[in-house]
A and B are shown apart, each in its own frame.
Chain A
Amino acid sequence: MEKPIIYSFAVVRSSSEQFKDKTPYVTAILENEAGVRFPALVEGYTDGMEVSIGQTVKCQLIDGKPSCCF
């Protein structure tokens, strides 16, 4: 699960209460090499950054949960 690809994503500008300090941010469905999909907030998005389906991101497991960034 180290370098999954983006299956689809959204740049969120209007969030729920818990995430309002993080906007804009990217939330995505990622797909690992085995074809397994999982949801993630991909850290490190800034406006003007190119993000596309099929792009690779970096993930590591922290306390059993994927932590992902560009």
Chain B
Amino acid sequence: MRSVSVIGIGETKMGKYPNRSIREMIQEAGGAAITDSGVEKKDIQAVYMGNFDGAYLCYQNHFGPMVSEVLGLGNIPTVRTEGACASGGLAFRMGYLGILSGLYDIVLVGGVEKMTHQPTETVTTGVASAMDFELEAMCGMTFPANFAMIAKRYFHEYRNIKKEMGMCAVNAHKNACLNPDAQMKKEFTLEKVLAADLIADPLSLFDCSLVTDGAAFVVLAASDIAEKVCKHRIVDLIGSGHAGDALTLYAKKKITSFAAAKAAAAQAYGQADLRPADIDFAEVHDCFTITQIINTEDLGFFEHGHGADAVAEGITARDGKKPINVSGGLKAKGHPIGATGISQIYEVVTQLRGEAGERQLKKADIGLTHNLGGTAATALVNIFKGR
């Protein structure tokens, strides 16, 4: 089988940029990724672009040709992918398959979302389209509500981990302080986090990820080409998994563990011939703090019901044995929905290259990304290795 490598990365700062246009963000992040890759624009053969809610929040669809126009890529084919919060992860997966098939040698993969210009209720409504609108949203369900139900059930099946969920938020904000691209570079005490207003009990403000504007891009190449052009440490994609589940939360057999993520992880570990213990660090989809804890269990880092213990013991902190979300994660780096899956890959590649500055991990040779869409209805897991 063909081997695929990441040769270029670029992203905008994540944050509240109501006056930045989608085009501007694509120009900045996409242009940076191409420059970083060392290939010419004419060498890029296809574009895969993730976006989730452009039509609702910005009256904009058809992101593929926007990318090729803004970046001056000519008449190459473009595809827009949508899989809720995994839209970016899906774009990456499609780009990977495009090279794997032999059809392309070099592709550009990206994601963008513009959200903060809309009021919170509009964003909540728009995001709710990632669940079943008629069956769930029309029962008053929102994403915080769905993950609150997951947390309540987790408390019922295992134990109350509200305090450890708060520790996830404290860690995320601490990590974000070292990331120049993070949206919320501010530390918070556990007391302040635990005392915050409830959004959907037991989730309070600090259990929820951010509403973010931003874009992220990567350039992928067949590994034999990467060896010729890449100016950085070559980062190979050694395992990739993609799986799905029921759209609705109530139709899932179990809601305290995500079957799609477990299946995607099994594929990625199998392809890479690695075990969870071999992973140096991971960027996981912490749309809510409870989700981060469940994700680290689904990835096999910790036993089911014990993810919170690992947080309390400091294992998931930046200086711990299994650093989780050293970027700050969706919680504090930000969650520009369609760009999030690519933003996670940006962080892993940056760490594997040893270019993460103040937040650089000492041991960064094998990194993993975990991107969820909707109420864990779409899952993508990738394992990267630096040569």
Determine which residue in B124, B145, B150, B255 has the highest number of CB atoms from chain A within 10 A of its CB, and name it. B145
| Cα–Cα, bound, A50→B140 (Å) | 20
B128 x A16 contact (CB < 8 A): yes
Question: A33-63 toward B: CB 8 Å interface, digit per residue (1/0)?
Answer: 0000111110000000000010000000000
Shortest Cβ distance from B148 into A: residue: A10
B121 x A15 contact (CB < 8 A): yes
CB within 8 Å for A16 and B137 given contacts A10-B201, A39-B250: yes
B3 at the interface (CB under 8 A from A): no
| Cα–Cα, bound, A9→B120 (Å) | 22
Question: A13-43 toward B: CB 8 Å interface, digit per residue (1/0)?
Answer: 1111111101001011100000001111100
B150 x A8 contact (CB < 8 A): yes
- Which range contains the number of B residues in contact with the other chain? 20 to 34
CB within 8 Å for A53 and B250 given contacts A16-B124, A16-B142, A41-B140: no
A11 at the interface (CB under 8 A from B): yes
A1 at the interface (CB under 8 A from B): no
| Cα–Cα, bound, A17→B153 (Å) | 26
| Cα–Cα, bound, A12→B199 (Å) | 6
B153 x A8 contact (CB < 8 A): yes
Interface members, chain B 286-311 (any A CB < 8 Å): none
Residues of A within 8 A of B356 (CB): none
8 Å CB contact of A28 from B124, B149, B156: B149
* Shortest distance from the beta carbon of B197 to any chain A beta carbon, whole Å: 8
A14 x B144 contact (CB < 8 A): yes
B248 at the interface (CB under 8 A from A): yes
8 Å CB contact of B140 from A15, A29, A38: A15
A29 x B200 contact (CB < 8 A): no
Residues of B within 8 A of A18 (CB): 125, 137-138
* Shortest distance from the beta carbon of B122 to any chain A beta carbon, whole Å: 7
Question: B121-150 toward A: CB 8 Å interface, digit per residue (1/0)?
Answer: 110110010000001111111101110111
Shortest Cβ distance from A40 into B: residue: B139
Residues of B within 8 A of A7 (CB): 153, 250
B249 at the interface (CB under 8 A from A): yes
A13 x B199 contact (CB < 8 A): yes
B153 x A53 contact (CB < 8 A): yes
B121 x A39 contact (CB < 8 A): no
B251 at the interface (CB under 8 A from A): yes
B250 x A17 contact (CB < 8 A): no
8 Å CB contact of A16 from B121, B148, B251: B121
B198 x A37 contact (CB < 8 A): no
CB within 8 Å for A29 and B122 given contacts A8-B255, A39-B250: no
14 contacts between A and B (CB under 8 A): A10-B141, A10-B148, A10-B149, A10-B201, A10-B203, A12-B200, A14-B144, A20-B121, A29-B149, A29-B255, A39-B136, A39-B248, A40-B139, A53-B152
Give 10 nearest A-B pairs by CB, closest first: A10-B148, A8-B149, A8-B153, A16-B125, A10-B145, A11-B201, A27-B140, A10-B200, A41-B140, A37-B250
Residues of B within 8 A of A (CB): 120-122, 124-125, 128, 135-142, 144-146, 148-150, 152-153, 156, 197-201, 203, 248-251, 255
